[in-house]
Structure 1
């Protein structure tokens, strides 16, 4: 293919550099990657071949300017491979994975480049640098050192081989999980089996079955996590059981979709790589460059929280069992019963039926009058849908984001609906990352997995889905607000155990009075959510937190357990199921009625995503989040003054500053853990 005919090999002429997805075909990707790899190698060779002594300009700035074409092609492709992974895209992803890994290592492990960066790091105090420039040198030096740039050639060769194999295994894990998740969609013959679903949800299930060639039936597709929103409303216990069983069967059924051997090899290779790099475990390797600093600090926090969380979960289970025992059919509480009977307790104790609240959460109104309005009130942002701009899929909508004075800020893409080609869960990514050096403004994406109703029915969200939308938009704001010079620091390019903090803070506006009154309007009558119901909803802040905290901590502990293994210990593990059971028993979270939020074979965050040994980051970041929410409440809440401080001192700096230093700059002190303990009901 001629380079001048490949739309990926030139900067897009569309606003904000949005890729021209209408012109990009699957066959464009691999040639574009190969050309971008070659261009980047030439740029690195120019830096290392410079006979002049290393300076910030001829080394660091040149390094930051390099790889622009590769960055553009990669962001364009990986947006598609996660959100619309057709078989053709999956094949490209599989072929690309080891190539990308090898190229990344060729840069990170380049001895001549490392020597120049190290020389600058050793003499940084003598150079006339801005704080951002000084931190850039520090970060590149640390990241290259941790990657193995100081190793001997033989060790580097072993490391490169491991990294390439790991990249292929991660792609295989995700491919298997997507296929098994689709294959395990649960079919029902009679609408009565789905009693409790709304008309829109039943319509979506009917459409899902028809799309799979079984019109007249109903198909419920699986979410990424263990549970499912429908478990809270389905009145038929057998339907709930089938749905939970299908979810937990992913990756352990044998055959092509089985992920057990894949994940075991991933664990062993990560442990081997850590040993080569001089670390006792993969968790030690990862946390060495996070705010936590060590696995021991992570383990201390998780153990501190696990005992009271498990205790609270047992108390909650006793309440649920009492309701079951008062019914006509008595049985022992099981995992597939928890959500359903939790709603019965919520109704009995707080007179709140969350399933009945869905008509007040129409998706478009939640977006416009909730998510967007909160951002407008807090930061002065304006949003306008750009119908003239097309993203990678017809369901993905493009919005231009402007400052209060009309200055363009960037683009926001929202891809709301689930489909068989989209991986599970919800996430944010950047198609274009902000950079003053490159002159790039941000283009950010939020992906959700909401069932799409058929026949033009409104999309009604659950309260959990409303929370997810606000959460992911917090990540989007982090990407949109970046004002850094160097692309290495753009937006969410921060420590993994800090990245969830801004998104968690953004959840506070869900129940903020003027925001809730704006978006929570009945889809048919436009009546607001009744005020007495709102007050009762606020009173449930720590309701069911024993379960919620326990299921999360169980998953976080599994992640730590797998990745705290030494090379020898990892080699000795042969059974995924037995290892999980021992790990959960070790921390006291082995309650069969409260399974981990993710079991290992469908734990995409850690085996195909970027959270290996880092899933603890949600609770770690929540310490900062709960403390910051306390600050907002003490300082006027939803005001432009409060928003400006949070934006300029935390969101705008991206990764250009030590994250805990940035937090202290915002808060005036380090975060306290007490607000988190109170929020989750763990103070007793």
Structure 2
């Protein structure tokens, strides 16, 4: 046996700074053996804690649990970074094999009655212990989370729960695999440039390059985004081309082929409902929200219904305006359909505000947006500086690594940006950690941002849409949360907060996009070097509530679908057999069944809730936006992009990670609870 055969780089200390996995040395065949070894090590650590003959203490139980599993966490973070961003056939096969193993291991640890008894004993003496606030919260959260997960059930119920969790892990993995395959299969091929009239030279270049990579030389390939619509719909003059793209997008996972997700999601819904019932809850939504800031699904439903009425009303006004423009402009008018909305919205925007959103792209060159926009805002607000580290390889050649420094020059962590779309990357945009900060483990953070921007041919600039600029600022807000969270215990590291709070920091970071000193720095024409003209900036600001009826409605429709599926009891879930009929009834129930405004995600490609971590939690974006809009008002009242403001926001909110109740942290920052009025004004939903 050679040294190479026995050496596994995932099980050895990384030679790279910050403990970044040595991806250059890691091969697919290393992952499963690394998981097996790490599982075994973690089980041994857990067994030692559970069988400790000494009376349970904070040190020999809670602190010991926090120290355990360090190697397993390293392997998990290394693998799942790759499985979402570069899921080759080999990686997908590993992911499928791993899903039930991960589920079984997590349940074995979380549901261990001996650990639960020890944690409960420490919790019973909590007031007698000399613990700081983070230590007290650690005890409380371990007990709460394990109780919530089912650790107090009897052994028969635990056995059934473990089986349910295993099967759900397999199904959610299958859902994501099917979606990736169907998304790739449904990419829309065009024979002639004329069919894509309206796209920029860079976008045509990206489409030609995507076709070439698929062996379709001389054609143009439009790959699909995760959500129903597509950025190109607002530019394409050819109505047939628009319809082809929208139809392909909405067909994903529902074509009756091997990638059809209909039966998969029905099984997921039924098993989640059964699991919730086993755990003592009437529905999966009740189970999820019980340990979120919302508290109950009824609270979520009240907010969604309150917003749906004015959103639908505004969408109808917008639809009427678009139809009038079609009737006035087309020699043969037609009824507005979903694939027409974005195109005619841009015509209305041009007519009413003299603003062509597509024409702004030359001012949004990706490198300048990143360096002089996203990074500059972080420098002005938090004193951060960034240095690219080409000597630290990431998991894919397109991913770039930057070292991040505090204002005093001390190293904070690493930031990895993976900007471009590819067939092996799942759709959407996200942040994840490769290494999490923790004083117990002596680690500093390494965070990743993934986007899905089409990659132009070599030598062509990457010009972003305003939506893509927004996404980059948004995801960097998550990255800042992961970089700034400074905690003692791994349990609270990075973005380990309630799901309906996690979007708050990312949405706040969007406010700097149009902030004068930030915009003036990055919005520079990539050819002429001219800044974005002041009159265009004014028009951009004037359109902030434009088309918000549509934007709010499509989002609320998806959030309501998530709630509708996951508010079913086990008995009711068993009765649902038709996905499309269920969707139609749910959208009609909340008054968001306008065909021209399709839901942002239909169920069969709703990855957030059927293969991601947002099940019964997609409402989180609008829930967190209440806090976000209120926070934007605070920054405006206190002078905006000032270092003192950044320090306060970092210290009292971003920096505490999950070590403090999020609403308590918000009150500490804001001085009061959030008010909903700023959100209503932002989205044009006021009276």
TM bucket normalised to smaller:
over 0.9
Runs of at least 4 residues of structure 1 off by over 4 A? Answer: 1-4
Aligned to 1:252: 254
Q: Pick one of 15, 26, 43 that aligns with 2:28.
A: 26
Conserved? CA contact 1:491–1:651, under 8 Å? no
SS at match of 2:433: strand
Aligned to 1:76: 78
Aligned to 1:548: 551
CA distance in 2, matches of 1:252, 1:482: 41
Aligned counterparts, 1:510-521, within 5 A: 510-521=513-524
Aligned counterparts, 1:185-196, within 5 A: 185-196=187-198
Aligned counterparts, 1:151-170, within 5 A: 151-170=153-172
Per the TM alignment, residue 176 of structure 1 is displaced from its structure 2 partner at its CA by 0.2
Per the TM alignment, residue 210 of structure 1 is displaced from its structure 2 partner at its CA by 1.0
Per the TM alignment, residue 95 of structure 1 is displaced from its structure 2 partner at its CA by 0.1
Deviations 1:19-75 (A, max 9, x none): 100000000000000000000000001101111111110000000000001000000
CA distance in 2, matches of 1:99, 1:381: 40
CA distance in 1, matches of 2:459, 2:118: 60
Structure 1 residue 570 corresponds to structure 2 residue 577:
no
Deviations 1:425-454 (A, max 9, x none): 000000000001100000000000000001
CA distance in 2, matches of 1:26, 1:60: 34
Structure 1 residue 604 corresponds to structure 2 residue 610:
no
Aligned to 1:373: 376
SS at match of 2:400: strand
Per the TM alignment, residue 526 of structure 1 is displaced from its structure 2 partner at its CA by 0.8
Q: Pick one of 515, 524, 528 that aligns with 1:525.
A: 528
Aligned to 2:89: 87
CA distance in 2, matches of 1:491, 1:41: 24
Structure 1 residue 636 corresponds to structure 2 residue 639:
yes
Conserved? CA contact 1:117–1:140, under 8 Å? yes
Deviations 1:305-341 (A, max 9, x none): 0000000000000000000001212000000000000
Aligned to 1:651: 654
Aligned counterparts, 1:149-228, within 5 A: 149-228=151-230
Aligned to 2:289: 287
SS at match of 2:653: helix
CA distance in 2, matches of 1:674, 1:164: 44
SS at match of 1:383: strand
Q: Pick one of 588, 597, 600 that aligns with 1:594.
A: 597
Aligned counterparts, 1:329-340, within 5 A: 329-340=332-343
SS at match of 1:652: helix
Structure 1 residue 667 corresponds to structure 2 residue 648:
no
Aligned to 2:431: 428
CA RMSD of aligned residues (A): 0.7
CA distance in 1, matches of 2:371, 2:537: 20
CA distance in 2, matches of 1:72, 1:193: 48
SS at match of 1:682: coil
CA distance in 1, matches of 2:585, 2:404: 49
Deviations 1:559-601 (A, max 9, x none): 0000000000000000000000000000000000000000000
CA distance in 2, matches of 1:511, 1:156: 52
Deviations 1:534-580 (A, max 9, x none): 01110111100000000000000000000000000000000000000
Aligned to 1:46: 48
CA distance in 1, matches of 2:124, 2:352: 63
Structure 1 residue 504 corresponds to structure 2 residue 500:
no
Per the TM alignment, residue 4 of structure 1 is displaced from its structure 2 partner at its CA by 5.5
CA distance in 1, matches of 2:652, 2:408: 21
Structure 1 residue 394 corresponds to structure 2 residue 397:
yes
Per the TM alignment, residue 13 of structure 1 is displaced from its structure 2 partner at its CA by 2.0
TM-score, with normalisation over the residues of structure 1? 1.00
TM-score, with normalisation over the residues of structure 2? 0.99
Conserved? CA contact 1:491–1:652, under 8 Å? no
SS at match of 1:457: coil
Structure 1 residue 440 corresponds to structure 2 residue 443:
yes
CA distance in 1, matches of 2:614, 2:419: 23
Aligned counterparts, 1:50-69, within 5 A: 50-69=52-71
Q: Pick one of 125, 132, 141 that aligns with 2:134.
A: 132
Deviations 1:196-222 (A, max 9, x none): 101010011011111111100100000
Aligned to 2:240: 238
- Structure 2, gaps ≥5 residues long: none
CA distance in 1, matches of 2:264, 2:162: 19
CA distance in 2, matches of 1:120, 1:582: 49
CA distance in 1, matches of 2:213, 2:10: 32
Aligned to 2:301: 299
Q: Pick one of 606, 612, 616 that aligns with 1:613.
A: 616
SS at match of 2:274: helix
SS at match of 2:415: strand
User: Mean alpha-carbon deviation: is it higher for 121-130 or for 143-152?
Assistant: 121-130
Aligned to 1:418: 421
CA distance in 2, matches of 1:318, 1:671: 35
CA distance in 2, matches of 1:137, 1:671: 28
CA distance in 2, matches of 1:173, 1:315: 37
